[in-house]
Structure formats: structure tokens, C-alpha cells
Amino acid sequence: MLNFSNLTVRLGGRTILDRVSAALPPKSKVGLIGRNGAGKSTLMKVMIGSMEADDGEMEKPRDLRIGYIAQEAPSGTITPIEAVLAADAERAALLVESETCEDPDRLGEVYERLLAIDAYTAPSRASTILVGLGFDEEMQNRPLDSYSGGWKMRVALASLLFSEPDLLLLDEPSNHLDLEATLWLENFLKAYPAMIVIISHERDLLNNVVDHILHLEAGKTTLYTGGYDSFEKQRAERLAQLAAAKAAQDAQRAKLQDYIARNSARASTAKQAQSRAKALAKMQPIAAMAEDPTLSFDFPSPSDGLKPPLVTLDLASVGYTPGHPILSRLNLRLDPDDRIALLGRNGNGKTTLARLLAAQLKPMDGSMAAAGKMRVGYFTQYQVEELDRDDTPLEHMTRLMKGSTPGAVRAQLGRFGFSGDKATTKVGKLSGGERARLALALITRDAPHMLILDEPTNHLDVDAREALVQALNNFDGCVVVVSHDRHMIEMAADRLVLVDGGHAKEYGGSLEDYTDLILGKNQPKGEGANGGGKGGKKDKKAAAQEREKLATLRKSVKDMEVRIAYFTARRTEIDAAMFDPKQATPADAKLTMTELMKLRADIQDKLDAVEAEWLEATEALERAA
């Protein structure tokens, strides 16, 4: 379906794509991956047609409908549901024409086409997509201008998915999503019936959705079959790992093994040893690139260890407006060796809880006790965006490390890959991933006892994310993570805290249990929805049967909605023929008034019958769901 050969693109005198070629199979799901700056977005722009290649050819069907997200998010007074419905231009045009068309023959064609494209079920389909991306019914009907840029981009994504193009192009679609919406999107893409090319650094999404990996490196592309793990194995075999990288990986393994051996038996360090054991067991063959400065993460551990607990919340409430707490009755204890991930949809209060733990907010009620000398490093995306683009990493760090020697300042920058000329490069010339590393270097300059990281992976590629996970497991302090990256949560967190319904409680199950719960495969068990462990999972065969039953019910409801739309439209045509013969279709114009009345009664009987069936089926669907 999509072939390109010898594509070459040069920007500013630099060759971004160098005679790249690939043949992407029809209806394939392709993950376009590569290091930051490798040219992934450039190649996608050539696919879209918004950028011309300097040389080479791109072959695609002439009538191919390509869908992608525009750079500008939708805005204005229209609502999200209106914006999504408007994405189907044909449906919108046909509905307008159905209201104004005076040609009976053309009107019949319009109705037939509306039925063919499921036009009358569109509001339900659009709403389903918006719900999956985090918009409840009330949110779907608020003006777009009442939303932040991140939520507007969700509307743009919903509009794209609703339009169902033949070729779906996605560039980091999960960057504006929480874990729950990311899980829904992954499920949607797995079932998408047409071709997908997706730029993503989400290891789980690439493993679960795509069937091909198109790897872009040094201006060249290589197509691999399978998901990301399969790509890594094939690539490792193909490159045969350099000796220097092997030595570096062996050294890292030895360091981890030594730490595990020395600390597993001690209660005070057992959890950190367990985290290192996870890292050792799942160490990926990316160590060959560990010498790359863009993979450098080394969090300085505190030398003045504090006794537990670091933080204790006792029936605490927190929020922004007096008398209106976002979270209430919080009971949590954080110790120096804790590794905690905060779960829950965006807007439920994860960032509010993180700010409370970082002492940026004070409890409205209850109490919060923290170790007196505790230092906290708190990372947010806002810090990345607020960096002064005209200053260098060295200037940023020097301002914050007043009184420190130039050597100490450069040493802290060097921990995060900013050595030599990189330390004196203006921030405006750094990539998104480099700016994220700089923000992490700044917030850890005083070797904090607790790291709180709110979506730290948004600008990082897959290899950099793996390096970040390893750095967190080497950090001798408490870690609190908010992330939609399941791989990071699984590798770096030992405790899960679910923030939902105005509360924050320990989640008793695993991340897999939580994933199943969000996807509707598990049901909550007991107070707090802590479905957990082995007993929380349904029998796989029974779960499959329930999913099949639900799918059958949904199809039946959809079919009946199409029939209702048809009979309603047909009744309207007959009414027009009875009261204004000029509007009658050619077939109806030949009928007498008696015949028209009899035909209308017959249509009405069929409509009443199918509406009754539809009502019964929707009630059954609600009970089953």
C-alpha cells in the first residue's frame, strides 16, 4: 500500500534522510522508531505530503485517505462532541443536503449513503471514542476553549480516530494521555481495520499494537517484523554488539549483582535490592548505546540518610480552594526505600498529591509530618517548558548552585550528559529530550532524599527511558512516579497508589491487574477497588465468553440503530408523498393515497417492532457491561 524508495531529505544543509527505502504491507501496523532527532517526524511529513523530498519516490494509491493530527489543536466555542462529528466531512455534508435537497431522486441517494456510512450511529461512536480518551458526558458538551492545550489535543486525536482514514499516521499520540487513556487507545489501535504508522517510544504499545518496526538510524531505515521486543532481538543479532558495549553491560551487571548480594538480607535495603534485581532480570540489549551522552542519567544519592518515615499523612485533605478539597482523608506513609507509582486518570488528583508530598501545598485538614532535613527533587513538564532558551545548561546550574565551585557545577551537569561543548550550548538549540535531562539535573543538584517525577518520559526515546529506569534503580532514596509508561512503572515501582474518587489508597493488585481492570476484564473486589493478585482474575475462558457476548450484543444494537434510521427516513419520504406529491420519490409517486397510507402503516409497524427490540437489547447490554 505504501512504498518509498531512495528518499532523501536535507534540511539546513544537513542530510536527515539518506536514500531510505521500504515497502510497507497493506493493513500493516508499523511502529516508526529511532533516537530523538533521527528524522522520524520528517519521514512522516513526507508520507503526509506536507514536505517534499529532495530525491526519491513515494508510491501510494491515488484515492488513499490519509489521516493525521494537525499541529494546531482545535479551539472555539464548539464542543468536543461537535468537533469530533465534524471530522467526518462526508456525513456533515450529507446531513446538510438532506435538510435542503428538493430533488426526490437525489434525496433518496442521500439517505442511502447516510445509511451506508452509519451516519445515524455516529454520535454514539464519537461519544465512545471521547469517553475512552477521558471525556465524560458533561465534558463532551463544554466549549473547547474551556480546556487546556493537552485536552484539546485529545479532541484532535478523537477526531482523527473517528474519521477512520485508510492510512492512520500518529506521532507520539500518548504524550497527552494518562495511563488509562493510553490503555484504551492501545486497545482501539489493535482493532483498527486499516493501515497504521505510529511514532512512539512506548515499549508496551509497540509490543501490543504493531506488527512491523521501521527503524530509522543514521538517515537509513530498516524494516523488521514483529513488535519492539522482537526488533531488539533481531537488531542485537544483526549488530552483534560491540566489545566495548559488552564490557559496559558486564560492569553494570556486576554492580547490580554485588549490590543485591550485599543488601538483599537487610530489611532496610531489601526493597532497593529487589528493584535492582528487576533491572538485572529485564536488562535490555541497549547497553551498546550506553556511551551516548543522551543516555546519561545519574541521580546523586543523599549522603545524609534519614530514618523512616520520610512523610506521614494522617487523615489529610488537600486542594486549592478553601472548603473544596481535591483529596480527602489521606493516610499514607513514605519511607526512604519506597518506590511508589501513582495511578488514576488525569484530573483525579495525582499531581495534587505530588505537590502535597513536595510541600508545595499544605494540608487543609488532618496532618502531614515530614523529616526535618528532607530534601525533595520535584520534576514536572512545566519545568522543561520554562527553561530560559537563551541561557546555557552551565548558566542555569551556576545560578542554582550558588557558592559551589565550577568543578562541582560541571560535575552535576556531567552526570546527565552535559559535558564539554554541550554544557555551553543554548537551551533553545537542545532537543526535547536534552531539555528534560537538564531539568532533571537541576532538581537533583542537592542530592534529594525523595524524587517526585511527574511524567518524566514524554520527551525521551525508548533507549533514554531505559537509561532513566536504571538510574532510578541505582538511586538510594525514595521515588514517587506519575507516568503513563507501563514499562517504567513495572521496573521502577514496588508500591501502587490509586488516586480516585477524592481519595488515594494502596492498590493491592499488580500493574497487570490494574490494566485488566481498566480494560474491563476484571471487576473491583472490595473497598477501594483493590482487585488483586491471583484471586482477582477471572477465568480466561469465562472472560472470553463474556467479551464475545458483549460484542454480539453491541453489533445487534448497532444493526437495529441502522434499521431504525432507515425506517424513520422511509416514513418521512412517505409523509412527503402524501402531503406534497411534488416531493415524492418516483416509486411513491405511482402509488395512490390508499396505498401510501397502507405502506406507511406497514413501515410504522416495523419501526415500532425494531424500537422495542432495540430497547430490550440496550437494557441487556447495560446489564452485561
Instruction: Taking the CA atoms of 146, 152, 158 and 159 in sequence, report the sign of the dihedral they define.
Output: positive
**Type and span of the H or E element at 470:** helix 462-474
Cα-only R_g, the chain: 29
Q: How far apart are CA 381 and CA 364, in angstroms?
A: 26
- Encode pLDDT of 262-290 as tens digits: 777 777 667 777 777 777 776 655 444 43
Q: Does the fold of domain 294-506 match that of domain 1-65+165-240?
A: yes
Q: Where are the alpha helices (DSSP H) in 481-592?
A: 486-492, 511-518, 540-579, 586-589
Burial 440-465 (b: 16+ CB within 10 A, else e): bbbbbbebbbbbbbbbbbbbbbbbbb
What are the cell numbers at 422?
Answer: 554541550
Residue-range domain boundaries for the chain:
1-65+165-240, 76-163, 241-291, 294-506, 540-624
3-state secondary structure of 267: coil
Interstrand relation of 167-171 and 66-67 (parallel, antiparallel or unpaired):
parallel
Closest CA to 1 of 64, 62, 60, 49: 60
585 φ, ψ (degrees, to nearest 5):
-70, 160
509 φ, ψ (degrees, to nearest 5):
-90, -175
- What was the pLDDT predicted at 415? 92
Task: Decide if 447 contacts 300 (C-beta within 8 A).
Answer: yes
Q: How far apart are CA 278 and CA 259, in angstroms?
A: 13
- What was the pLDDT predicted at 435? 92
- CATH 3.40.50.300 correct for 294-506: yes
- What was the pLDDT predicted at 542? 59
Instruction: Taking the CA atoms of 389, 393, 396 and 399 in sequence, report the sign of the dihedral they define.
Output: negative
In the β-sheet with 220-225, what is the strand arrangement from edge to edge?
A: 66-67, 167-171, 195-199, 29-33, 212-217, 220-225
Task: Decide if 427 contacts 393 (C-beta within 8 A).
Answer: yes
- What was the pLDDT predicted at 264? 76
Q: Classify the phi-psi angles of 171: left when phi > 0, otherwise alpha if psi is within -120 to 50, otherwise beta.
A: beta
Q: How far apart are CA 314 and CA 579, in angstroms?
A: 73
Closest CA to 18 of 36, 43, 52: 43
- What was the pLDDT predicted at 461? 86
Q: How far apart are CA 16 and CA 38, in angstroms?
A: 7
Q: How far is CA 536 from CA 186, 267, 316, 547, in A?
A: 23, 29, 30, 17
pTM: 0.70
Residues of the chain whose pLDDT is less than 70? 70-71, 238-249, 268-269, 282-294, 521-548, 550-551, 555, 622-625
- What was the pLDDT predicted at 133? 93
- What was the pLDDT predicted at 530? 44
Could you tell me the fold of the domain covering 1-65+165-240? Rossmann fold (3.40.50)
Separate counts of helices (H) and strands (E) for the chain: 23, 18
